[in-house]
Structure 1
């Protein structure tokens, strides 16, 4: 710091020394504000549905999961500006509270001069079908500089106003794609690439997106213990569940104050995935936030009372997701360059895996000219979990992923608002870029890339089967104010090289996809405006996909799940056809034994409930056909855990509705071991006897 800068800082300090920070701007108050906003969001779920007027241009219509322009509410923006200013005066930058904050930092890269001609990043530009690896770090840096130049031009076109991109819907975030839980063996065989983890005879497992591809979660069981992420995010509590009297017997604690995101428990080991903020000290002794890294720390839990760390491995960025397949862990993190670059400063904008910079030939360039972040992918053999097997870094503007049994599909929903910024008009229907990366025994290899019109609702709208990639997309147009004017939907079929071989266009005008599910050669997807059309698509001839049926009922299904042979479960919202008012959540069982003639077998409406975590995180559902259990939590006056069963003759029956305890941000999970059902939320565990669902025990951790 120069002398003049030091004098300025002292003057600011003197001038503000006696100014009290308003209580409303203290960290605890801001945290409470954000928590209240989250609660408000839940309450507004049904209001957003009610606001969907008969006109397709209703601005309140739920936006599709791609990127949209959105102004930051001035009150919250002011709070963050003041807090950021406080952090800077203190000489320490404030780390982001989540991955989104880190992504925003990437705009700090130096932009080209105003008169420079940086290559355009227009999403309408055709792309090469081959994935291109970088030949030098200069190519990589150019992508960041192009992004910064585009953002600068966009800002200038809007009169200097800051334009925020709206992040993808929760379904598209690290969050994880949705699930099939336990289906019959016949259904699993018919489902092909989509199925969920079938529970063993004595305990349930995490609901997963793809059969045989395990996923991490916030609650796990080995059949004898419950492993539960605590509200502090620094501890996983171990609860003995071998008898009716539950008791905490141990803890797994992350090293270096790591913030645990989720974990696996497998074969006497716990694989713990955590984020760690990196802080460096400047020459003048000032501590500066230097980004984050995610760490995989492995623990021996053969003695659950005394877990022992076996070591860790790290990679740059914020943890996004992971998969465990055939003894190999595949880790995904989002890395954004944390601060502006000096002219010849290369190190900060190259991610690291296991302490080593990713080689330029392992960095995949984006299909278009610009990028503002990486998706870092690393693989680890679970038998040697402190060493990496392979790694790739995928340059992108945003990213989500769908993982099939043999390929990772990195997809981006993209919209260009340059026409809007320049002319005040926009007719941008979006496009998806998809990159295919093959994986096997820990080895990763880029295969192909493609661009498809529209945007994806979530990972259930993209599916691989017998080498073919199928997508259900929504195309939306927007006016100059950012309100949706029209929408339509499409089905696309791509071959192994991501070349399109078949499509259906012009589906369900003025509606958009709310949920989708693929089962082998058949796909089902739900759109919504005033009623819930469930469409059936025959994909047996990839070159000629056909809509073979549709069923319209009030409301919409946010989540679809197979329930044995010829049955499809839907969880969503019930909506009055005339008034558009939501009546509550609904659970529907569809008879899909004849895909061309789908019938509503039964529907149960949970009156007063206005939403569920299942809508944004499929792992929150517990569905077991073997045990005839459908479990999930919903929000009414209080969060409540519901359990249903289903009989072809009697229909759906609500057999449990118990308030969820545990004041925590950690999500709610249902787990069963033998004849006991557990409702788990952070520091509270409650157990019930399967069959009667009478309370057995509870414990506060």
Structure 2
């Protein structure tokens, strides 16, 4: 009987199930397996299109062979093996943020790095509010309280986000496309007239956006794409196919099946084979990095493709960092690291300008920060790799095979010198939060702040003034944790997260004001809201800090004992030198108690505007925060 193919081409997603163990391959597959090794981020470019196709095919087969040799077997209570294939077929950082006062007296997106704009669902120029909630893009004139223009996206589109340039509105989203019965994802960028929302230019590429940044009128993007190899997938899940069938299916693919296609205003473009880079070991997925001028003229775009996954993007004024978590499953313990690629932008074109690795995985883009010629990276080891080795599920009856005990988790801050074409490690400090994982990171100048949590919340202060010798100078332990950190003045840091019991059970929203003047941070004051949480924990764009009024605005959901929405709104917090207290509670008139609440807050002049799927509301800034306008959607 032919061996079943148990390969998940795109990685470890299919492992997200019950306890598992590996088995030996059923036969010699006759293909080279490239082993996982630490520090494997070094990239090389292909010498031509023929070499690129052969290299990609060989690498993909090597990964498939590795998974054939180590694919998990799931064991039920009867001791019967159910192979995974059957189951699958069944179903700068140191700079001040820019969300405070601006020269035009209106707020901006809460960006991680000053001068580097991030895409969001709401933008304003101080007169108009541009927003996309649900499938609808709207322009609201805040002077008249009227919707000045409106445009609806296709129902099969998702992940809509916006950039606002100098007289240009850039809309980005992913569209699910029906291609002769097979659905695929296509990432689209539209340059629109901000007054009428008329589409002026369109860029389209296979895949989905990882993230984007806009600097000086230039939009820099990273797009992830899967290979278009349905015949290979058909063989993968054919119970009667063997590895020779798979090799034949892969050999029948062409380069255009692996490299994403793109077009500008309907005219097809082409990625130069010399602009395709690859590490030693990859599965066939790709990330493409490129730039588009906010003012149009996209015909000369030159995308650069890396044959790797990409999960996290961090942008600076002249660079775009792309990070990917890679792992290897040994016979006893899994290993993993974060691979980091730096792209330097000049004249609208990206150039690969350095690679590095750091132990473990990133939390988010705030785990990366470039300052004074160095890149600082905060990671957690041995937590994410094991986090999804959960139970078999409520309906399953499983018996566990013996699995190795993972090493204790720990976190590390690693520093790299940023050279013209290289990232070179200069120093690191480790063993932060042993047995815990990172919940929040913020780098401010030569200092890093790292929150880890399991039962209590150590806020570590890391002195990074000497890049060759990072030093932990403080470890403040309090109950609960902060999921987002934001500077709110000199030597003041605001943490948004959850209070918790001594056993680590969360009890409600907690906002903490820290004094960071000393080597170890100290708590000055805290705001607590029982049985509540804020989207700021996982979505920093939902956070607004308005420096002129010394206020922070957070969307909040109160929960009842059955964890149903009981109250949604936004809390306005007055941030003093040593105090944080509620200044106002803002609610919108929403008939549906289960509807999503406020998702964004903006300041325009002397008004606080709040955005939800139901509409846009204005409240006076200060005083009683009385409502002054309501625009229903």
* More helix per residue: 1
Asked whether the 8 Å contact 1:219–1:228 carries over to 2, the reply is yes
* Partner Cα distance (1:506, 1:120) in 2: 34
Q: 1:237 aligns with which of 119, 138, 160?
A: 138
In structure 2, the residue matched to 1:324 is: 214
**1:393 matched to 2:305:** yes
Match of 2:58 among 125, 142, 154: 142
Residues 1:676 and 1:126: Cα distance change in structure 2 (over 3 Å): closer
Distance 2:464 2:307 in 1: 32
Q: Secondary structure at the residue paired with 2:119?
A: coil
Residue 521 of structure 2 corresponds to 598
In the other structure, the counterpart of 1:89 is none
1:625 aligned to 2:541?
Answer: no
The structural deviation recorded for 1:221 is 1.3
- Find the partner of 2:608 among 677, 684, 687: 677
- Give 2:170's match in structure 1, choosing from 265, 271, 278: 271
Structure 2 distance, partners of 1:538, 1:329, is: 33
Aligned to 2:260: 351
Q: Which of 351, 359, 369 is the equivalent residue of 1:463?
A: 369
Q: What does 1:188-267 align with in structure 2 at a 5 Å threshold? A: 192-193=94-95, 195-200=97-102, 201-231=104-134, 233=135, 235-243=136-144, 246-254=145-153, 258-259=157-158, 261-267=160-166
Match of 2:223 among 325, 330, 333: 333
Give TM-score scaled by structure 1 length: 0.73
Q: Of residues 290, 300, 323 in structure 2, which corresponds to 1:411?
A: 323
Distance 2:47 2:452 in 1: 40
Map of 1:300-311 to 2, 5 A cutoff? 300-301=193-194, 304=195, 306-311=196-201
| 2:377 counterpart SS class | strand
1:384 CA displacement: 2.1
How do 1:474-553 residues align onto structure 2 when only pairs under 5 Å count? 474-476=380-382, 478=386, 486-496=408-418, 497-553=422-478
Work out whether residues 193 and 405 of structure 1, in 8 Å CA contact, stay in contact via their aligned partners in 2.
no
Map of 2:185 onto structure 1? 292
CA contact (8 A) 1:274 1:296 kept: yes
Q: Which moved more, 1:680-689 or 1:352-361?
A: 352-361
Structure 2: give runs of 5+ residues left out of the alignment.
Answer: 1-11, 20-24, 75-80, 233-248, 390-401, 560-566
What residue in structure 2 maps to residue 614 of structure 1?
536
Deviation of residue 485 (structure 1)? 5.6
Distance of aligned partners of 1:530 and 1:125 in 2 relative to their CA distance in 1, 3 Å threshold: closer
Partner of 1:694: 626
Q: 1:580 to 1:350 in 2, by over 3 A?
A: closer
> What CA distance in whole angstroms lies between the structure 2 residues aligned with 1:516 and 1:251?
38
SS of equivalent to 2:472: strand
1:134–1:140 CA contact under 8 A, matched in 2: no
Q: Is the contact between residue 131 and residue 447 of structure 1 (CA under 8 Å) also seen in structure 2? A: no
Change (3 A) 1:117 1:627: farther
Match among 553, 561, 565 for residue 486 of structure 2 = 561
1:605-635, Cα deviation, whole Å (9 max, x unpaired)? 11121x3221221111111222312011122
Once the two structures are TM-superposed, the CA of residue 592 in structure 1 deviates from its matched residue by 1.0
Matched, 1:435 2:341: yes
User: Taking structure 1 as reference, are residues 659 and 113 closer, same or farther at Cα in structure 2, changes over 3 Å only?
Assistant: farther
The alignment of Structure 1 onto Structure 2 pairs a total of residues equal to 550
Q: CA deviation at 1:661?
A: 5.6
Q: CA deviation at 1:538?
A: 1.0
Residues of 1 paired with 2:155 and 2:201: CA distance?
Answer: 12
Are residues 1:645 and 2:553 paired?
Answer: no
TM-fit CA distance, 1:257: 7.0
C-alpha spacing 1:490/1:164, structure 2 compared with 1 (3 Å): farther
RMSD: 2.9
| Cα gap change, 1:371 to 1:552, in 2 (>3 Å) | same
Instruction: Go from structure 1 to structure 2 and tell me whether the alpha carbon gap of 1:253 and 1:589 turns closer, same or farther (over 3 Å shift).
Output: same
CA distance in 1, matches of 2:58, 2:374: 34
**Cα 1:549–1:68 shift into 2, 3 Å:** farther
In the aligned structure 1, how far is the partner of 2:556 from the partner of 2:158?
27
TM-score (norm 2): 0.80
| Alignment check: 8 A CA contact 2:573 2:584 kept | yes
Q: Deviations over 1:497-524 (max 9, x none)?
A: 2222111122332222111111121111
Q: Secondary structure at the residue paired with 1:486?
A: coil
1:138, distance to aligned residue in structure 2 (A): 1.9
Paired residue for 1:587? 511
* 1:260 positional shift: 6.0
SS in 1 for 2:202: strand
Q: Distance between the aligned counterparts of 1:164 and 1:623, measured in 2?
A: 51
| Cα distance, 1:160 vs structure 2 | 5.5
Q: How far off is 1:163 after superposition? A: 8.2
8 A contact 2:610–2:616 mirrored in 1: yes
Unaligned 5+ residue runs, structure 1?
1-65, 74-111, 166-187, 282-286, 420-424
Matched residues in 2 for 1:593 and 1:386: separation?
48
- Measure the CA separation in 2 of the matches of 1:371 and 1:269: 38
Check 1:126–1:561 CA distance in 2 against 1; reply closer, same or farther (3 A cut).
Answer: closer
Contact 1:517 1:523 in 2 (8 A): yes
Distance 1:340 1:298 in 2: 36
1:324 Cα deviation (Å)? Answer: 0.7
TM superposition shift of 1:685: 1.7
